[in-house]
Amino acid sequence: MENKILGLHHITAIAGDAKRNFDFYSKVLGLRFIKKTVNFDDPGTYHFYFGDEVGSAGTILTFFPWGSGIAQGRRGSGMATEIGYSVPKGSLDFWIDRFEKYNVIYNKPAEKFGERYLTFLDPDGLKFELTENANDTRKPWETDEVKANVATRGFHNITLSLKSITATAAVLTEVFGYKLVAQEVNRYRYATDAVENAAIVDLVELPAEERGLVAGGSVHHVAFRVKDDAALMAFREKVEAHGLSITPQIDRQYFHSLYFREPGGVLFEIATDNPGFMVDEKLEDLGKGLKLPAQYEAHREKIAAHLTPIN
């Protein structure tokens, strides 16, 4: 079987206050809080995971909440600037009412590529789009206030802003197997036919745009999905053959990863489906306990003492 990139796996961003981040995504947006762990490279900081019921690839939004004193990021070139979620057709009015209720900054609905969408900002200034998609049949996570008929289904697209799209587009097409499927002015839409959802990457070309700053309220990296370790290592060879530097395989407890910076400046990750989020918690218990990788278990008490309580 041919190794393929199976769309988006997860997207990781930087937040400020941990409790504010938890409340916004689990309560206002109605995502499931599926894992509470720490940044493996900085165990004094949380790493939060939000997604659908089981943490399916293509629904996973993760955060490093680095505290309220963190510098504010700035959208610009060389970074992922908008995270797109899929929502049911006709649900945008619900989201407008909800954003009004919770004082969320948003713009009135607009349209691109024949799709109606709504833009909003999270409390740290991270930019999102909710795009109506009648063909998305993924089962959503449902809460008392956000029912299935309006809930997010998972990622629709990710937008990268670049001074030039040429070299980044070559990675998407020549390495990842994406194809250019549409263009509107300076926005180029690339998609893979390997999966039905979380399959779109939009490249926006902004030659005069100042380089962005990755800090609070910005995307840290974009992760693409592969089936297993064999596919992961096959793509490592492909990335190296394309002339790019890429890390060795890294065990992230819930998936195995490779990282490289694409030519436009965005940090890309390739991540496996295996072993998944039930490796250390049962389905019904996801997100309830503080989960630490083995190397930090001996320091659990000290680590927990520095973290904001999240229930």
Stronger pLDDT, 69 or 142, i.e. the higher one: 142
In-domain check, residue 81: yes
pTM above 0.85, yes or no: yes
**216, pLDDT greater than 60:** yes
The set of residues, in sequence order, having a beta carbon less than 8 Å from that of 26 and lying 6+ positions away, is 32, 33, 50
pLDDT in tens, 88-118: 999 999 999 999 999 999 999 999 999 999 9
Note the helical H segments in the chain.
Answer: 18-23, 92-101, 166-170, 229-241, 300-305
Contact of 11 with 80, CB cutoff 8 Å: yes
**311, pLDDT greater than 80:** no
**69, pLDDT greater than 90:** no
In the chain, DSSP finds a helix count (H) and a strand count (E) of 5, 16
How far, in Å, CA of 280 to CA of 254, rounded?
9
Tell which residue, 264, 260, 267, has the closest CA to residue 238: 260
In-domain check, residue 263: yes
In-domain check, residue 3: no
Tallying the residues shown for the chain, one arrives at: 311
By residue range, what is the domain housing residue 158? 8-305
How far, in Å, CA of 163 to CA of 96, rounded?
33
pLDDT at 182: 98
In-domain check, residue 311: no
* CATH number (domain holding residue 73): 3.10.180.10
In-domain check, residue 310: no
In-domain check, residue 235: yes
Number of domains in the chain: 1
How far, in Å, CA of 136 to CA of 208, rounded?
36
**32, pLDDT greater than 70:** yes
Mean pLDDT of the chain: 96
pLDDT in tens, 240-268: 999 999 999 999 999 999 999 999 999 99
In-domain check, residue 135: yes
**175, pLDDT greater than 60:** yes
pLDDT at 73: 96
At 271, list the tokens.
């991540």
Least confident of 104-108, 204-208, 230-234, 294-298: 294-298
Question: What is the CB neighbour count within 10 angstroms for residue 179?
Answer: 11
pLDDT at 42: 86
Of the CA atoms within 13 Å of residue 110, those in its CB half-sphere come to 8
